[in-house]
A = this chain, B = another copy of it.
Amino acid sequence: MEVLGDLVNHLIKSGVHGLAPLGSTGEVAYLNHEQKETIIKIVVAASNGRVPVISGVGSVSTAEAVKEAVKAEKLGVDGILAIMPTYFLPSENAIIEYFTSIANAVSCPVVLYNNPKISRADLNPKLVMQLAEINNIEYFKDASGNMGRVINIVNSNKIKLFSSSANIPATVFMLGGVGWMAGPACLIPKLCIKLFDICIQKKYSEAMELQKKIWKLNEAFQNDTPAACIKAGLILQGFEVGSPIHPQNSLSFADMEKLEKILTSLN
């Protein structure tokens, strides 16, 4: 897993403000405990305090997720991105219980992650408001793509906002978003940081032009899982990260070529 340390160094040198291993794209739902532990250790060691590490945590079982969160904190992460994979469709009570249990088990800050199309656990504004009452639940990362709900949550002033790739990051920043955790940043870190910077400087016209350009990368992610796409892109850039975890398929040759063209046009 030397390649992971190399990637961490590359990203930090490119200027990223933090690292978020084990998110959705980081295959949190496909890895076993040992694999997750190894990844956190490598990222924490390679980062070596230069930038904060926010580790994804998630399991279909609450107890397993809590165990993972506690372990991650012990291994030195600076925050937890709490993800809720599901099997049976969870009730609202189940959703509240899951995130509350994780937050109560650690003392570091927790980011709520909402991705109902994938996880089927829908953190609607009412649930987010309720969970925001918990002390260390400080952030909300929305991947629902429903910007109306995001504005509702922003209007409440109760929780800070991270962008995902499912929303338009430039818009999230304009609404006061504090950051962006997204797979594409692995492939085009400098452009992503530039977008963040010019948004912070309120140069919004310029930001939207850059946003439109960057979006071409999202357009390449239609036919495959995000992990398959990011791994393919990293291989194109010389990082030998291997195949996505099966049953995820690798990119077809045609999709690989398309991705290469877009990456070239962006660099």
Contact = CB atoms under 8 A, between A and B. Distances in A.
B60 A85 contact: yes
A208 B101 CA distance: 36
B212 A151 contact: yes
A216 interface: yes
The quantity of this chain's copies bound in the complex is 4
A258 interface: no
Contacts of A216: 155
A226 B88 contact: yes
A98 B29 contact: no
Nearest to A125: B219
Interface stretch (A133-141, A163-171, A231-239): A163-171
A160 to B, nearest CB: 15
Interface centre among A60, A91, A98 (most CB of B within 10 A): A60
A168 B151 contact: yes
Contacts of A89: 118
A248 B94 contact: yes
Contact of A204 (B154, B168, B205, B218): B205
B147 A245 contact: no
Interface stretch (A10-18, A36-44, A61-69, A72-80): A61-69
Contacts of A204: 174, 202, 204-205
A17 B90 CA distance: 33
A89 B117 CA distance: 9
A31 interface: yes
Given A152-B215, A219-B152, A246 B63 contact: yes
A155 B212 contact: yes
A32 interface: yes
Contacts of A225: 88
A246 B32 CA distance: 19
A85 B87 contact: yes
Contacts of A264: none
Given A88-B248, A225-B88, A155 B215 contact: yes
A24 interface: yes
A5 interface: no
Given A61-B31, A174-B204, A247 B95 contact: yes
B97 A247 contact: yes
B87 A24 contact: yes
Interface in A147-198: 147-148, 151-152, 154-155, 166-168, 170-171, 174-175
Given A94-B246, A145-B146, 5 more contacts: A61-B247, A62-B245, A88-B248, A152-B215, A155-B219
